[in-house]
Structure 1
Amino acid sequence: MSHPYSYQISLHLLSAGARQPHRRYLFTVALTLAGWSLIAPNAAKGDLVKLLNGGEVRGKITAGIGSEGNIHLQSMTGATIVIESEQVQFVTTRPDIVEEYESRSRRIKDDAEAHWELAEWCRQRGLLPQREHHLRRVTELNPDNDKAQSLLGRVWHQGQWVDKDELMTSQGYVKYKNKYITPQELEVIENTADELERERGWFQKIKLWYGWLDGQHENRRPQGLTNLAAINDPNAAPAVMKFLSTDPRIDIRELAVKILVRTSGPKATTGLVKIALFDESLVIRTQALDGIGHDYAERAQNAFVKALKHESNAIVCRAANALGQIGDKSSIAPLIEALITVHHYQVAMDIPNNQTYSFSTDGNFSSNTPAVPLGVMEAVRAGRLLPPVFAQSPDAPQPLKKMVTVRIEHSNVEALTALSKLTQQNFGFDKRTWSLWWSAEKNASGKLKGKG
């Protein structure tokens, strides 16, 4: 069944000889229909025909452009409108929600509250440009609406609301990924992206050359060593650390140190610090520490200070030794804290059958003997996790085993040596006296500058 008010109106472009009043009448019909579509409460059609005379006809194009060059459009009232293409400036299709917005926007009161409500309606439906339009109108009608001002990206500055982007730009900042940074920071970011690309290239090359060292073609080994030894790009440091610094052969790890020392730079320094702390060879660790150099000593120092809190006492001592060699007095305070450190070790302790022990939840234990068995303490202090194996006859009763967390308080000679070198003082392992003395020194001399 057709709509009770369904009918067809044809808008024809009049010939030059037609009466002018008739032309005006036809355009009036078009404008009236356009008005109907704008104010109808259920406007949900998405097509809009813009007429050359400035009018708009909205509805749903049902047949496109017909054989006679006409556009067939059905309005929401059910009327079919036929418009000749010569009358049309353009045709556009918009989402139904935009059409609903158009209707709502023409009905609201021009006050701050109404525009705020419509802005919220637009936000919930993803109509962001329309939302911004109404937020701006809110601030025009009520400049003290802080929330609307903020949502528009404005901040209160020197007694007025100003655009935050413009303010930050005037202060020399640039916007990068919704954050304001300095041009220098942006340059670093851009350079970093370029460096990452170069790093990827070095990973491919060094992986290939490193593979030649143990490959099936023996004649490639010398070429691989030659290629590796010739590296002089700081961006190669991460790949050098991954492939060469972890090799079990000491000569390959020495080659890694030589490459890092030659290339220098922040990335190489990070690698040298890691080797100086964690390599198993004292020779390699010494070469890495000596190769850091004066220019990047401060960067290395920060890493060594952080290592003073490492869970391994051996790493703490190596870091303290490195800080003493660097010789910067700004490391005195953390070295004082590192004079005595506490570490925990998991050990498997033999409990003889005729011996009883009770263990607490924190890993401490007590027995009917006054001290922890000597074997356990010797193993812990030597850095081994297991006590020595005691010879027993095959017929002897087997001792019980218990995994124990042993708490050891270490007095670190390396930290004391470094402090004595930096301060020309020696208060032993008395942390309180060291701290009081250092506080008095800073108060007496003012801000610390330079190196000792």
Structure 2
Amino acid sequence: MDKIDMLHRFLDNSKRISVIMLTMISLPLSLRADLVRLKQGGELRGKIVTNANEVGYRVCVRTVTGAIITVHKKDVEFETRRPLYYETYELKSRLVPETVEAQWEMAEWCREQRLKRQQEIHLEKMLAIDPDHEVAHRLLGHVERDGKWASLEEHMLDQGYVKHRGRYITPEEKMLLEHSQEERERQSEWMAKASLWASWLTGRLDKQREIALENFRGIDDPLAIPGLQRHLGEQENRDLRNLYIETLSQINDSSAISALVRMGVFDGDRGLRMRAIEKIPENQINFAVAEFVQHLRDSQNVVVRRAAT
């Protein structure tokens, strides 16, 4: 069966596929080896050359023989664009003998092409042939212990470590990191809520203002303080800053005391500064005094005077 007959049969099986044969050419290595997999089975390999007018309707592939094959988008299962050396690898890897030397040569070629996963595949094949091949073990990151080889992950797990985001750490460190992540997520949630509720307070709808006030008055989570500071404490609106002070007084945490002290020395409104100081609980006076002392070192004289009084 000649090529024309084969093409006719191909067209009979899928009427949507059109093939235009071009002159056989040798493609430079700089071209890509993209892959298009068809729903009916089969693959097209080469360079996807779909023009702007055909995007979304057709996929055109220039194959390594120089032919351009055009298929309807609806016939394509998926497509991926890849450098040419992926195609070269797939062709070469099919011909590699099952010997240590041949697999090593292929692994080295993969390393030169920066195909890390493919390199590992051939190193693993080397170990399937020679389980004690030291170089292959080392390149795969394996660790020798008591005459036995183990992957780095197996070794670290045996040592009591756990893997977290690509690093090996102690279970205690993992717990702290996960706790910190949870706190950051909660802070972000409070930041969004404070922004929304603050906008309601300055809006026109009485019902929204009532809901916002009720929500702020119910806050007792220290992780809400950054959001409260940004959307209440740092605003020009005096009422919002006053609400910030009131909300801080509801939070039973040292970070709330620190925030009240900062309002007591940095806010430009004397009445609000005094209000912030008044809201410091008696059982937190010693902590607050230590915070005021820290502000005595401030570069601004006005802040130093406020902290001293």
- TM-score, normalised to structure 2, is 0.50
CA–CA separation in structure 2 for the residues paired with 1:315 and 1:170: 59
Which one of 234, 237, 242 corresponds to residue 222 of structure 2? 234
Question: Which of 89, 94, 100 is 1:97 aligned to?
Answer: 89
Aligned-partner SS, 1:104 = coil
Cα displacement (A) at 1:180: 1.7
**CA-to-partner distance for each residue in 1:30-81, whole Å, 9 max, x for gaps?**
xxxxxxxxxxxxxxxxxxxxxxxxxxxxxx99xxxxxxxxxxxxxxxxxxxx
Matched, 1:119 2:107: yes
Is the aligned partner of 1:256 residue 2:244? yes
Shift of 1:245: 0.7
By how many angstroms is 1:162 displaced?
A: 4.7
Asked if residue 247 in structure 1 is aligned to residue 239 in structure 2, the reply is no
Question: What residue number does 1:167 align with?
Answer: 155
Contact 2:264–2:274 (8 Å) recurs in 1: no
Contact 2:162–2:168 (Cα < 8 Å) also in 1: yes
**Any gaps of 5 or more consecutive residues in structure 1?**
3-59, 62-93, 322-413, 415-452
What's the counterpart of residue 38 of structure 2? Answer: none
> Offset of 1:256 from its aligned partner?
1.5
Q: Is contact 1:115–1:135 with CA below 8 Å preserved after alignment?
A: yes
Deviation at 1:99, TM superposition (A): 3.8
- Paired position in structure 2 for 1:187: 175
Alignment of 1:15-414 (within 5 A): 97-106=89-98, 110=100, 116-123=104-111, 124=113, 126=115, 127-133=118-124, 136=127, 140=131, 143=134, 145=135, 148-155=136-143, 162-217=150-205, 221-265=209-253, 268=256, 271-272=259-260, 275=263, 278-280=266-268, 281=270, 282-283=273-274, 286=277, 290=280, 312-314=299-301, 317=304
Q: How far apart, in 2, do the equivalents of 1:157 and 1:318 lie? A: 66
1:159 to 1:104, Cα distance in 2 relative to 1, 3 A: closer
Aligned to 1:437: none
Q: For the residues of structure 2 that align with 1:293 and 1:257, how far apart are their CA atoms? A: 18
Q: Distance in 1 between matches of 2:123 and 2:283?
A: 57
Query: How much has 1:317 moved relative to structure 2?
Result: 4.5
Query: What amino acid maps onto 2:232 in structure 1?
Result: L
SS in 1 for 2:235: coil
Closer, same or farther: CA 218–104 of 1 in aligned 2, 3 Å: closer
Identical-residue share of aligned pairs (%)? 29
8 Å contact from structure 1 (residues 116, 138) kept in 2: no
CA 1:259–1:101: 2 relative to 1, 3 Å: same
Distance in structure 2 (CA, Å) of the matches to 1:185 and 1:245: 34
CA RMSD of aligned residues (A): 4.9
Does the C-alpha gap of structure 1 residues 125 and 251 become closer, same or farther in structure 2, counting only changes over 3 Å? closer
Cα distance, 1:213–1:125 mapped onto 2, change above 3 Å: closer
Q: 1:101 to 1:220 in 2, by over 3 A?
A: closer
The DSSP-based 3-state class of the residue aligned with 1:231 is coil
> 2 CA distance for matches of 1:142 and 1:285?
71
- Does the residue aligned with 2:168 lie in a helix, a strand or coil? strand
Whole-angstrom distance in 1 between the partners of 2:147 and 2:262: 53
CA contact (8 A) 1:245 1:256 kept: yes
* Letter of the structure 1 residue corresponding to residue 216 of structure 2: L
Counterpart secondary structure, 2:95: helix
Q: Check whether the contact 2:190–2:223 (CA below 8 A) recurs between aligned residues.
A: yes
Q: C-alpha separation between the residues in 1 aligned to 2:148 and 2:260?
A: 53
Q: Could you state the TM-score of these two structures normalised by the residue count of structure 1? A: 0.37
1:238-266 Cα deviation digits (max 9, x unpaired): 22111111123455324323323423458
Q: Write the distance in 2 (CA, Å) between the matches of 1:286 and 1:162.
A: 62
Cα pair distance change 1:188/1:260, threshold 3 Å: farther
State the one-letter code of the partner of 2:124.
H
The 3-state SS of whatever aligns with 2:94 is: helix
CA deviation string 1:295-350 (max 9, x = no partner): xx6xx97xx97x8987x34498489x6xxxxxxxxxxxxxxxxxxxxxxxxxxxxx
Residue 358 (structure 1) aligns with: none
Q: Structure 1 residues 276 and 180 mapped into 2: Cα distance closer, same or farther (>3 Å)? A: farther
- Return the index of the structure with the highest Cα Rg: 1
Secondary structure of the corresponding residue to residue 220 of structure 2: coil
Taking the aligned partners of 1:177 and 1:152, their CA distance within structure 2 comes to 20
Q: CA–CA distance in 2 between the matches of 1:179 and 1:274?
A: 39
**Partner AA of 2:247 in structure 1:** I
**Equivalent residues of 2:266, 2:303 under 8 A apart:** no
